[in-house]
């Protein structure tokens, strides 16, 4: 029986451990903190639990659907208890799955050694050896070094999930996915929010047309955006934190109760013993081949620690592929078909190439867009805000990318991912009957719009 040691218990680690056990290996998993990793404990799950509550609160407070609640108020301690209850339940579930699959869990910090073994420090130190080692140590928030970065009230995304009380105002440094999600979250709870982004547009990886719509919608709800803005310092002034930024050579000041630094994440590989083990890394990112194997045979690195794409579902898929390769099985991982989701209200989701990427590659393509104002279910759920966008090849109509801004976008994107995986064309999307009334109907409408045949939107004037 082959021996597999997995270091890290997040979405990459625990999924890889379970898959290795399914394939007949004896599996040991080392985790220094809580099982579930960043995603389950201080990332995806707690953030989405808070966003769900924020959506409910905003919906009830508006009374727009005819439900009028008297004296609607937010019980912040109860909100945090609900969030933690969700996390606790899911952590217990993952621990139960590992146990059910015969995975042995060690609590402690793992360090690779020069002789190929793994030393585990903790309450009961031990040394492990294995036929295959899966490094799944995850990532941590990037910390910016600027004047005032150590002031009380300058926080990171982890601290933002467990604030003792809601801030009256918040300045967010970083207009990427993390920053925009927190902007939507705290604005829905009633905080005054400003977002500072160094680039000309928020959400840099997102299709430009979609990113512009998100900015417009959040701006309509009161989020202030400062793009092309460089943070120079944070100072205490008149009982508040004052973020000083430079825009086109001019200095601006934004006063708020808290400053949240949300400029992304970096691999958490310090102290792992990479150098002693002879494992190659570049700026903290562990170098891997197409099978996620490092330069040392039998040692793999999956998920955030290899720096390829920092998404939980990508990490899980990489772990499965790595374990299958390590145990002599055929594996499959499609790096160009990974959905990305942003849990604003409405949601954003995309898969495949953006319009900008398609153009940069010199491909001939067509675009079909369908405003969700023409979709009955979207009008019911979010007033019809948003759009569905499909990018396809010019000659055959093969789907190259799908981008959604609207209700249920993060669920709908699975259809688009499968369509790209199966090399489907827009004609095949059109001929697939979509149920009514659903937001998914907009997928077929966007496919029809590629050739100007959308049914529920007026034709463009020629």
* Catalytic sites, residue numbers: 436
d(C-alpha 70, C-alpha 62), whole Å: 11
d(C-alpha 206, C-alpha 176), whole Å: 9
**Using CA atoms in the order 245, 155, 87, 183, what is the torsion angle rounded to 10 degrees?**
-20
Matching residue, tokens 């594996």: 331
d(C-alpha 453, C-alpha 443), whole Å: 13
d(C-alpha 349, C-alpha 99), whole Å: 34
What is the enclosing helix (H) or strand (E) of 306?
none
d(C-alpha 256, C-alpha 141), whole Å: 22
**CA angle centred on 150, ends 145 and 151, rounded to 5°:** 135
Q: How many CA atoms lie within 13 A of 189 on its CB side?
A: 23
Residue 133: CB partners within 8 Å, gap ≥ 6? 4, 5, 6, 7, 112, 118, 298, 299, 300
**Contact (Cβ atoms closer than 8 angstroms) between residue 392 and residue 366:** yes
**Contact (Cβ atoms closer than 8 angstroms) between residue 30 and residue 5:** yes
Tokens of 340: 């990305």
Closest CA to 179 of 209, 151, 153, 202: 202
Angle between helices 44-62 and 177-188 (to 10 degrees): 40
Tokens of 233: 């310092």
**Contact (Cβ atoms closer than 8 angstroms) between residue 42 and residue 158:** yes
Residues, the chain: 462
Matching residue, tokens 């001939």: 364
What is the enclosing helix (H) or strand (E) of 187?
helix 177-188
Sign of CA dihedral 136, 176, 194, 183: negative
Beta bridge mates, 300: 134, 293
Name the 3-class secondary structure at 460: coil
């Amino acid at each position: 029986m082959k021996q597999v040691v997995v270091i890290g218990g997040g979405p990459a680690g625990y999924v890889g451990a379970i898959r290795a056990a399914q394939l007949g290996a004896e599996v040991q998993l080392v985790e220094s903190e809580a099982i579930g990793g960043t995603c389950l404990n201080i990332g995806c799950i707690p953030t989405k639990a808070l966003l769900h509550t924020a959506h409910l609160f905003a919906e009830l407070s508006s009374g727009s659907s005819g439900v009028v609640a008297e004296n609607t108020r937010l019980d912040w301690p109860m909100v945090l208890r609900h969030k933690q209850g969700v996390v606790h339940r899911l952590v217990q579930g993952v621990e139960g799955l590992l146990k059910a699959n015969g995975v042995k869990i060690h609590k402690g910090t793992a360090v690779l050694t020069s002789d190929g073994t793994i030393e585990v420090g903790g309450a009961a130190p031990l040394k492990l050896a294995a036929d295959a080692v899966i490094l799944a140590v995850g990532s941590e928030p990037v910390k910016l070094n600027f004047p005032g970065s150590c002031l009380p009230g300058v926080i990171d995304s982890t601290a933002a999930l467990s604030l003792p009380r809601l801030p009256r105002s918040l300045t967010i440094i970083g207009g990427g996915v993390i920053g925009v999600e927190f902007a939507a979250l705290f604005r829905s709870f009633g905080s005054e929010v400003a977002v500072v982004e160094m680039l000309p547009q928020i959400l840099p990886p997102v299709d430009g047309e979609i990113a512009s719509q998100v900015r417009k919608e959040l701006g309509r709800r009161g989020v202030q955006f400062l793009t092309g803005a460089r943070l120079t310092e944070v100072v205490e002034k008149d009982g508040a934190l004052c973020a000083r930024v430079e825009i086109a050579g001019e200095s601006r000041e934004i006063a708020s109760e808290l400053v949240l630094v949300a400029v992304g994440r970096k691999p958490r590989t310090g102290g792992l013993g990479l150098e002693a083990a002879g494992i190659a890394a570049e700026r903290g990112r562990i170098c891997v081949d197409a099978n996620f194997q490092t330069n040392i045979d039998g040692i793999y690195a999956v998920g955030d620690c290899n720096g390829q794409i920092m998404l939980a579902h990508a990490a899980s898929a990489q772990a499965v592929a790595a374990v299958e390769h390590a145990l002599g099985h055929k594996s499959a991982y499609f790096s160009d078909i990974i959905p990305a989701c942003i849990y604003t209200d409405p949601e954003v989701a995309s898969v495949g190439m953006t319009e900008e990427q398609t153009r940069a590659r010199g491909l001939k393509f067509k675009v079909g867009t369908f405003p969700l104002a023409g979709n009955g279910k979207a009008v019911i759920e979010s007033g019809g805000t948003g759009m569905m966008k499909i990018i396809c090849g010019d000659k055959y109509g093969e789907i190259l990318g799908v981008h959604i801004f609207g209700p249920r976008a993060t669920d709908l994107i699975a259809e688009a991912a499968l369509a790209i995986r199966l090399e489907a064309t827009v004609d095949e999307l059109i001929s697939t009957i979509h149920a009514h009334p659903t937001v998914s109907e907009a997928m077929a409408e966007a496919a029809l719009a590629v050739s100007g045949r959308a049914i529920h939107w007026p034709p463009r004037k020629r």
